[in-house]
Amino acid sequence: MNKALHPNQLRPGDHVREYRIIRRLGSGGFSIVFLVEHEGNPYALKMALQPVSEVDEDQVDGWIRREAVSLEHLVHPNLLPIHELGRWPLPRTGYSFFVTDYVPGTTFYEWSRRRHVTPHQWVRVLGEVLRPLEAMHARGICHRDLKADNVIVREGDERPFLIDFGAVHLPGARPLTEGIAPGTLYCQPPEAIRFVMSADALQKGARFEAHPSADLYAVGVLLYEALTGHHPFNPKLPVNHLLLAILSVPPVDPRQLNPRAPDSLCELAMRLLAKDPAQRPASAREVREELERLRADEGDTVPWWTPGLPYRDLGVSSRPVNGALVPMKGPLSPRARPPARRTSARVALALGVGLVGLLGWALLHTEEAPPVEATAPVSPAPSDPGVPPVSSFQPDPSRPLPAPSTQAPARGCSRLQALLGVTVAQLFGCATVPAVRPDPSGYLDKCPYEARENIRKLGFETGLGYWFPTYLQPGPTVSSVSHRLVEEGAALNVKPGPIAAHMYPYANDKFVRILGTAVTTRMRVYIEFDRLVLPDGTWLPICGAAASTFEDIYGIPTREGVEFPDTAVDPAKVDHSPGSVVLNDPQFMTVIEPPEGEQRARIEQVDPNEKPRIDFSEQLEERKRQKK
């Protein structure tokens, strides 16, 4: 393809306005970052992965422009200056981007661990990070996604820069989300968890009020990690365990994880991680001044010049302290904004696009985020080993935690569905009927112009209209329930969440890989597709919805809804987890939203609870006659 159609397709040598792309630096859920050059000078260019659109539920354009505006309003030696804000390729309808200085360096995490720096060294850096935070809080601005991956330590002089203002709160700015702003789940403070589990959070327009104390909690997480090499709470815990741990379980004392850590820094970390915001230090300035005082008073003592424990000393066999301990081994996944996302992030929507939406981003972007160089202004994507092992909270038998159950109370499920989205609510054991009626037709109606035009550019064969045979592919949410493989046409388990399929839009049996999100009901599986993967690994936005092969109806019939003849199912392979259903086979039709001026296939939308009316009696009678 000679001309880039999407930021994902920009390559070295291409131009965005006057900036020549050198290489890709990073990629997250909502944006992509390039190293660019102009008149011999290097810059970092961050671009949204969605164009401006009135139907953009995740407000990607709004968030990236707010990030640029916030940096324009904040001039500080530890922040990156904004040089340009615009859209590409068209100024009114294109993808928003902004340009900042390029800072060669590594994240705070990588810098502190790879160089085995001492508390005497990293406390100085952390103190500098607090200075721009002071300036922000003085103006009513909150970062809301402070973490080790969002601090870049520059090569040479080791000056830190606070980056990634994609979740920033600007006083007086137009609200972009309800619930919780985009952020990193394990860094969310207890008061945020209390909010999302409260009745207030169910009110239309309800938002968790941004406050500096939440940023200070994140500083506590950062300090805890620097002292111990562990997170206060393991991000790999089941969501319900993680939320409850943040809300009510004290972190393990840092000195139990690293006996060599300075007592004074351990005590400060625990105060910053207090469940009650009133018990935390009053301001970023107070924290910075305390760090500076401790460094001046105690900096000559042995603990302050003792490097943190290297990875090999903290293996998975480490002695348990209130649960099994596993060390940090690499940077966390990018926020996904989450991650952890675009219109199809219905897998874990709620809390605005925020809190648990990050879980959805982690699930939905396992295929598309390449390894990246750690540099400003984007937090690095994970390296090949994947999500890092981290310190783990394990449930205390004397304090049982809620576990998934197929009989979750209706009122509780209603709240979880409203707050966390259908898929995450199903992880808690809630019923599979979505809180909001599936609306494939409405989804297609909102398809952005760019996604519709991509269909024209891709040259799909349209002799039968814009709907095409499609086959589900095995993955985390799709598995066989017989001795045959899914690819061989076997009956299959399908769970809510990210899903992949092969669609055949060409006459020569050439398929394309499409990605989307599935929502399950007892009678049908609904899938909304939003990406088409190209042979070079890049992707283009599209809009597609699954429809029945045997009916002109949206939604794939489940085996409970109608049982196909000669479909073998091994009961031992049936997935009985909440939300999982069985399909008779992997084939269905995908209805694609066509370019402007073209007609969409005429497909009916029925009640998701209505039993499919597919009659196989004629086929069965014919088989009986053939056997005679």
Element (H, E) at 36: strand 31-38
CATH of the domain at 240: 1.10.510.10
- CA separation for the pair 586, 301 (Å, rounded): 65
- For the CA atoms of 187, 193, 196, 198, the dihedral, rounded to the nearest 10 degrees, stands at -170
pLDDT tens digits for range 232-260:
998 888 777 888 889 889 999 999 999 99
| Alpha carbon separation from 118 to 231, 301, 536 (Å, rounded) | 18, 11, 44
In terms of domains, do 81 and 158 share one? no
Q: What pLDDT, on a 0 to 100 scale, did the predictor assign at position 218?
A: 96
Q: What pLDDT, on a 0 to 100 scale, did the predictor assign at position 450?
A: 84
Q: 468, 461, 494: which is closest to 584 by C-alpha?
A: 494
End position of a domain, from candidates 54, 78, 101: 101
**How deeply is 488 buried, as exposed, middle or buried, from its count of CB atoms within 10 A (0-12, 13-18, 19+)?**
exposed
In terms of domains, do 577 and 449 share one? yes
Residue 87 lies in a domain: yes
Q: What pLDDT, on a 0 to 100 scale, did the predictor assign at position 628?
A: 58
Residue 72: both structure tokens together:
């324009």
Residue 573 lies in a domain: yes
In terms of domains, do 143 and 265 share one? yes
In terms of domains, do 206 and 277 share one? yes
Residue 345 lies in a domain: yes
Residue 146 lies in a domain: yes
- CA separation for the pair 444, 594 (Å, rounded): 9
Structural domain containing residue 116:
105-311+332-364
DSSP 8-state symbol, 475: B
Residue 606 lies in a domain: yes
Confidence of residue 503 (pLDDT cuts 50, 70, 90): very high
Has residue 407 got a pLDDT over 80?
Answer: no
CATH of the domain at 20: 3.30.200.20
End position of a domain, from candidates 56, 86, 101: 101
pLDDT tens digits for range 550-597:
899 999 999 999 998 878 899 999 999 889 999 999 999 999 999 988
End position of a domain, from candidates 101, 134, 166: 101
Q: What pLDDT, on a 0 to 100 scale, did the predictor assign at position 196?
A: 75
In terms of domains, do 83 and 137 share one? no
Residue 175 lies in a domain: yes
Q: Which residues of 301-334 are buried (b: 16+ CB within 10 A; e: fewer)?
A: eebbebebbeeeebeeebeeebbebbbbbbbbbb
- Which of 305-314, 338-347, 500-509, 523-532 bottoms out in mean pLDDT, i.e. has the lowest? 338-347
Residue 95: both structure tokens together:
């993808």
Confidence of residue 318 (pLDDT cuts 50, 70, 90): very low
Residue 421 lies in a domain: no
Q: Which residues of 570-582 are buried (b: 16+ CB within 10 A; e: fewer)?
A: eeebebeebbbbb
| Alpha carbon separation from 14 to 3, 187, 622 (Å, rounded) | 9, 37, 61
Element (H, E) at 264: helix 263-272
What domain count does the chain have? 3
446 annotated binding-site participant: no
Residue 89: both structure tokens together:
């390729």
In terms of domains, do 504 and 537 share one? yes
In terms of domains, do 349 and 214 share one? yes
In terms of domains, do 511 and 566 share one? yes
The SS3 call for residue 382 is coil
Sign of CA dihedral 167, 170, 175, 179: positive
